[in-house]
Each structure stands twice: as C-alpha cells, then as structure tokens.
Structure 1
Amino acid sequence: MSRILEAQHRVPDTLAGARLDQVAAELFAEHSRERLKGWIKSGELTVNGERGKPKDKLHGGEFLTLEAHLQDDTRFEPEDIPLAIVHEDDEVLVIDKPAGLVVHPAAGNPDGTLLNALLFHCPALAQIPRAGIVHRLDKDTTGLMVVAKTLAAQTALVEQLQARTVSRHYDAVVIGKPVAGGKVDAPIGRHPKDRKRQAVTASGKPAVTHYRVVERFRAHTHVRCQLETGRTHQIRVHMAHQRYPLLGDPLYGGRPKLPPGAAQPLKEILREFPRQALHARKLSFVHPASGEELTFRAPLPDDLLMLIDYLREDSETMR
C-alpha cells in the first residue's frame, strides 16, 4: 500500500543563494535530509514544476512542490510479542528491551524481532521507515530504546543522534580492574578478517566512549559507560581495546576469569553467563513535539543483579 504525500512551500528571500537540498531541509523539516535528497533526484520534489539537482542554487521566490509516494512497510508481519513500555505518547515510545530480542529482521532472524512487536503494538508504524526505530541495541544487550511514532519525530530524533545530544548511559561488568575511569577515543570499523566483528581501526568511523568505575571486585569491575557516538558494538569493542572486555561477551570477551579460591556458585555463573554483561540504564533526549528534555531509567535486570551480588559476596568473603 502506498500514500501520496503532497506539500508546497515558497522559498523565502532569506534563503536566496542556498542549495536546493538545504532549502528543502528547512521548508520540509519533518523529513530527513537523505529522504528529501532522494525525492529531488527522483523528480518528486520539484522547483517551479521542474526537476532540479540537490546542489542547484535558488534565488528566492521559487515554489518547491512535493508529490511523493510513501510505501507502507508490509515486508514484515506484526507479531504479538510483549513489550516493556516505559513511556508512550503520540510522538515517541520508550521501551526496556530484554536480552535475546533482536531489534530488526535480518538473515537468520526473519521474524520474532522488536520491529515485528512494534507493528503489532502500533500498526500505524508500518508507515514509518524501520517502524520508527532510530537506534539499536545488540540482541543480548538489555535496556532503553526510543522509537518514533511519526515521521517528524523520527527525523528529529535522528538529528539529535547525529548531533550527539541524545544522552545514553550503560552499566557493564568487565573483566579486570581498571584503576580509574577514562575516555576511549578510537575509530571503529569492520574487522579486516572477521565480518561478524568490529574493531578499532584507522579506517573506521570516529567513536568516543567515556567510562567510570562504580564498584570493584576481586577480578572484575562494575563500570558505567556514556556514549558520545553510536557505532556498532561500540562499548564492547572499546572496553576490549582497553583490555577490560565485557564479561560474557562471545565476540570480544575471551575466556572467563575466575578469582582464586572462588566458591563454586560464582565459578558456575562466571563460566555460564549467557550474554555480554551490558545494560542501557539511562536515556535522555528532547521530545520532538514539546521540546522538553526527557530522562528515563531502567533498573538492572535480574541476571546482572545476581551476577553483581555474587561478585560482591566473593570480594567481601575474601577480604
């Protein structure tokens, strides 16, 4: 199913001399720059009824006309998958994602994803690219995600992410004992030999992670990380690069480290912890409609709470 999107704006004299794609972004601000550029190239966004190019300079007074076909995303089926909803209004939805839930369908995970759950919860999201998803968490990372319920909200949230004004804080348990917190400023890109992994590489995209120590144990540390950027596997890659990999991480964590003389229950949980010990605990952004800054928090899930309790008990016992 498709819908026709129609709109027209006169270019104000204050934008004389600006490029067509820049003017379009100002006048049709509810749509992303990339989407507008695509409509210019396809002839769905015209200047005085004529096709233009994104780099064309405008003089002011022209009429920009948008007649675009929006395709509803019917590739994916709605599925009745429970969602832990932290907040919902007409513009945004904030959820607390559980471990094991893939965010978007892909090879190996064609269904049973967060996207399928979102389409069931709010069928109108079929009209929004990626069902309103603007950022992701790894399958086995828990915690907070924001989803847009309108095109305008999606555009605004993506722009906030690009401007690095969305605040994202994570709790993690790492192997090793960092002396203090720090900042990791190291570019991340595809691993040169293993396409399932990311790596710190000179040809990668800029990536910055801040971390601080919350609690130290005998061979592990509870840390709190804050993202400036949002690269794939960023915290996992950066902490491993610092030689403090996340406990339970199947790609970057290596072998579990058992404290000398640890009790059997702790040994078992360290050997068998089924995922990377990472949780998106705090999320802040500006509401796309009201302009209010919103902050949400999600408590640690039971498996991480139990892990930390065992590590703390071990440390106290061995003092």
Structure 2
Amino acid sequence: MPPNASLQFDIPPEFAGRRVDQALAQLMPDYSRTRIKDWIEAGRVTLDGRVPRPRDSVTGGEAVSVRPLVAVIHEDRAQAIALDIRHEDDSLLVLNKPAGLVVHPAAGNPEGTLLNALLHHAPDLATLPRAGIVHRLDKDTSGLMVVAKTPGAHQALVAALAAREVSREYLALVQGELIAGGTVEEPIARHPRDRKRMGVVPGGKPAISHYRVIERFVGHTLVRVALETGRTHQIRVHMSHIRHPIVGDPVYGGRLRLPPGSDEALTNTMRGFRRQALHATRLALAHPVSGEHLVWDAEPPDDMTTLLAALREHVRGRGD
C-alpha cells in the first residue's frame, strides 16, 4: 500500500455508542486496537473530516478516512496453485474453493494455502491484510469466497460483513430426517473443556443460522443454510446442537450412521466420504465500488454430488 494511501468507509448505524477505537478495531480486524489507537492519536484518522479522540463515541453513519502506516504485510511466498475463479475485476475476485485447501498459513500448514495461491495470482495482494481475504471457509468445506483486491474494497467488504449485508448460503447433508426448516439462534464460543472445538456456550457471541429442507433421504436430509452471522464452525456447531450433525464431520458429527438397508455401494460411498458434507453454494453482495447487487452460485463438488446420488438411488431402490 502506498504510504499516503487512505482507506474510506462509513460507520454502520448499529455501531452507534461505541468508542472510535473499538468500532474501528471491529471494522478493521486485521489491525490491532493498539495500532488503530496510535493512528487516531497521530491524526491519521478522521470522522466526517474531524480528528477524533480514541475514547469519543460514534453515532453511526460517519464517513471514516484512515491513513495507515503500513508496509508490505505478507512474507508468505507465492505459490502456483490452481484457482477456480468465478469473477474478477479491479476491486474483488470471487473463487470456488475446493475441499482440502487451507485458507491461511498456520503452524500445521505453513504453505500450500489459498493465501499462497492468491499471492501468485495477484502479487499486489501482498499489501493487503491476509492478501485480501475477508472471510474464511474451513479446510474441508468447499465453495464460494470473496477476496478484496484494493484497500477500499477490503474495508467496504469487512464493513458489509459486520453489518450482515453479505448473503452466504450453504448446502449441508445432515444426519436424521428433518420434517421442516427452522432457525438456530444460539451463542457460540470456544468449548469450555475442549479448546480445539467450538460449542453453544452461554455468553458466547450471537450466532444465527436459518435452514430449510431441500431433499429428504432415508435417515438423512439435504438442507440449505443461510447465515446471519459468521462464527467459527457456525453451521457445524448449530446443526450438531439440534441433533442433526453434518455427515462426515470429524469434530461434531459423531459416528457414521448408515441408512437402513444400505447396500455395499452406498456403504462404501458413505465410508469413503471423509469430510463434512458442507458446501458454500451461493454468495451475494453489493459491489464495493459500483454498488451493483451481484450473486454467484456454485454446484457441490464431485465427491458430494456422488454421495447425494448414492442416497437418491437408495431411496429409489426402496420405492419410498
């Protein structure tokens, strides 16, 4: 990012009453609150043209300008990893992530991630937080993701996500036969005993998932889940909480449950499916520059399609 570049965005109305540094820390999650406070005190942040104090309250709707002191953020190396790009322009790109691809480098996956692939595809993304990645999918969840390509687009997309203005819908194959759709509104936080898991925990962050039935099988149901919030493992935790965990989920799914009367083909297909049957199938948002409403759809990958076909064949074989 050039040293004099500025980030421009508006404070969402629902942030009214929060301290300036608190609001900006939530809207700019890849920068620490301490760093943002330093920028405010250095006069590098304005609200409606005036320089605020960190403790000042926002009313919502203010126009924010931030001139961050930012060097190149990423030392991760670019890697030539194939990407299934569904849309790209000067401001953003939308891709269909395959199952098995980790989004960010971490201790167990220092390379071979989506971030490494993005740095190879568009080297200028090295100047953006997390190479422009504004939300994530679990390693073994497939589907659509949006990536910002400019500082302005990054801030606009982060703000839109915080304001729940980005629509994300998933297909999930769950255990059990659901009769109708519904809503799960339960707070999510780290599990109090197993810190590697998330769970429904009183006092956790608010989380809302809406689900509706798409197709019923013997002992299983395909549902479409729309997220209002984006907590870690949200769909996996919520569906497990209502006793309909996602098929193949190694953390929240429990033991494999074969449909009654499964033949060898279905048994082998289900036992061979070794990830959560979860796919981000639809993404909709307002373009951060033009404001145009954009929608993308992606069909489930071959492994999930094969699993669904096997379950349909089992239904036909029973004459249900």
TM range (shorter): 0.7 to 0.9
- Kept in 1, the 8 Å contact 2:41–2:54? The answer is no
Deviation at 1:121, TM superposition (A): 0.3
* 1:43 match: 42
Secondary structure of residue in 2 paired with 1:4: coil
Deviation at 1:65, TM superposition (A): 9.8
TM-score (norm 1): 0.85
Listed as ranges, the gaps of 5+ residues in structure 2 are: 9-16, 59-63
* 1:125 match: 125
Q: Give distance in 2, aligned partners of 1:205 and 1:267.
A: 38
Q: Give distance in 2, aligned partners of 1:221 and 1:271.
A: 17
- Kept in 1, the 8 Å contact 2:96–2:143? The answer is yes
Q: Pick closer, same or farther for the CA change 1:131–1:262 going to 2, 3 Å.
A: same
1:90 aligns with 2:90: yes
* 2:192 match: 192
1:226 aligns with 2:230: no
Secondary structure of residue in 1 paired with 2:314: helix
TM-score (norm 2): 0.85
* 1:53 match: 53
Deviation at 1:69, TM superposition (A): 2.3
* 1:260 match: 260
- What is the identity percentage for the equivalent residue pairs of Structure 1 and Structure 2? 52
Secondary structure of residue in 2 paired with 1:265: helix
Listed as ranges, the gaps of 5+ residues in structure 1 are: 10-17, 26-30, 59-63
* Superposition CA RMSD, Å: 2.8
* 1:61 match: none
Q: Give distance in 2, aligned partners of 1:283 and 1:78.
A: 26
* 2:4 match: 5
* 1:302 match: 302
Map residues 274-313 of structure 1 onto 2, 5 A cutoff. 274-313=274-313
Secondary structure of residue in 1 paired with 2:3: strand
Q: Deviations over 1:149-206 (max 9, x none)?
A: 0010011011111111111010010010111100000000001111111000102100
- Kept in 1, the 8 Å contact 2:74–2:131? The answer is no
Q: Give distance in 2, aligned partners of 1:274 and 1:57.
A: 49
* 2:168 match: 168
Paired amino acid for 1:213: V
Q: Give distance in 1, aligned partners of 2:73 and 2:182.
A: 42
The number of equivalent residue pairs is 296
Secondary structure of residue in 2 paired with 1:306: helix
Q: Pick closer, same or farther for the CA change 1:93–1:57 going to 2, 3 Å.
A: closer
Larger-gyration structure (1/2) = 1
* 2:61 match: none
Paired amino acid for 1:228: E
* 2:142 match: 142
